Chain A
Amino acid sequence: MPRLSADRQHSVRFELNGREVEAQAEPRMLLSDFLRHVLAMTGTHVGCEHGVCGACTVEIDGMAARACLTLAVQVEGARVRTVEALAPGPGRLSILQEAFRRHHGLQCGFCTPGILMSLDIFLRAHPAPSEIDIREYLSGHLCRCTGYAPIVAAALDAAEKLREADIIG
């Protein structure tokens, strides 16, 4: 069985935003730091570093998860998506991101990458959520600027736009 020693760097291979990547990490390195410091993917933000604030939320194997509650070595062989994967191209925003801009769903933007990732995954599985569903789901995130109301409005609007796009598409 593989044993990775504490004071060495070990190769970790996984899929990041559709691309195979390989980089080195000590066993104790958190996925949040691995993404930001080793892979230079600084879109994922780090807030509380103990799983409370939700700023570092990413997608791991199709589910929303805290990057700070995951070790880099745990994602060996996994599929990870971060906020960098949301925009369909340079200078363009996803339907969800557009909705956040329209509804002022962010001010300082620190919590936004985590909330966007959570909602992106949630809206895929729940195309017609109620406001209560969204509020309950957002309880896994802290935002100290907006008071949440514009975030909820953006999520509801994005859900509607995604349903329309789905019908047309």
Chain B
Amino acid sequence: MKPARFDYIRAETLAEAHAALAAHGGEARVLAGGQTLLPMLSMRLARPGVLVDIMRLHEIARYGIERDVIRVGAGVRQAQLQKMFELDKVQPLLAKALPWVGHAQTRARGTVCGSIAHADPSAELPLVLVALGGEVELSSARHRRKVAGEEFFTGPLSTARADDELVEAVTFPSRRPGYGYAFREFARRHGDFAIVACAAVARTDGARLAIGGVGDRPVAREFAQADRTSLTEALDAFSWELDARDDAHASAAYRRALVRQIGHAVIMEAEQCRV
């Protein structure tokens, strides 16, 4: 359980980080909080030749409200965002989901962008990004671009990021008037990976439900405003469309059952939270 050898580059500016990624590409991995990368290195699931540490870059260690979004830079740790002033008013879904990300002892180091770049199918922050319709800002020595959360995640631990690109920031839309937000997940133990995680955004004309932990990436679906019976039917259909599989933690049937139950509960809860 020790990492294989790698060179360690401590980037001091964004340009240096871009240059290091441009020079080493697929051989390099970005090191931010390290809370998912370090276990992968220790278990030798990842054997990069170079690590590019980006945590000394002041220009990306910030978060703030910009127009109608919260923009979170790559150096912002999960615990920092959790402590943002009035986060529960700025974006209630983030305030509700962050306590479920790992444990306090990993949120202290782990970054928001790192969790999104890692793209674990059961992780909470990718789910929140997809539920809210947020964006990922990628930058490299070549260019900068924005990718919608839903297009960013391409599979388990796979994203639209090119080898020389850095996830420089992510943007979460702020709370909108008349909207309600809810989050719930089911895991064997608090802080474990979710067997199923659900995030809902309720509007006057319907709701958006995003599901994590079932398919190979977080998936969102719009539900028109409906009575309980038709919502139950729509959720049942949705649960069958998700690519649920059996694994050591739960069966596909159990996951679909959780989607129906918890999905229904979060939509109802989000509806009640509308302000």
The chain A residues found within 8 Å of chain B, CB to CB, are: 1-7, 26-28, 30, 33, 49-51, 54, 57, 60, 63-66, 68-71, 73-74, 76, 118, 122, 136-137, 139-141
Contacts and interface: CB of A to CB of B under 8 A. Distances in A.
A74 B5 contact: no
Interface in B19-68: 20, 31, 34-35, 38-39, 41-43, 49, 51, 53, 55
Given A6-B8, A76-B10, 12 more contacts: A1-B13, A1-B20, A49-B1, A54-B103, A64-B108, A65-B108, A73-B10, A74-B53, A118-B105, A136-B99, A139-B190, A140-B102
A3 B9 contact: yes
Nearest to B43: A50
Nearest to A2: B10
A54 B102 CA distance: 12
B5 A6 contact: yes
Interface in B83-142: 99, 102-106, 108-109
A69 B109 contact: yes
B4 interface: yes
A50 B45 CA distance: 12
Contacts of A1: 9-13, 16, 20
Contacts, number: 113
26 contacts: A1-B9, A1-B20, A4-B9, A6-B8, A7-B5, A27-B7, A28-B6, A30-B2, A30-B38, A30-B42, A49-B42, A51-B38, A65-B105, A65-B108, A66-B35, A66-B109, A68-B42, A73-B53, A74-B55, A76-B10, A118-B104, A136-B99, A136-B190, A137-B104, A139-B190, A141-B105
A14 B209 CA distance: 46
B173 interface: no
A144 B12 CA distance: 43
B5 A26 contact: yes
Contacts of B191: 139-140
A137 B20 CA distance: 38
Contact of A50 (B42, B53, B190): B42
A63 B83 CA distance: 13
A3 B16 CA distance: 11
Nearest to B6: A6
A137 B35 CA distance: 17
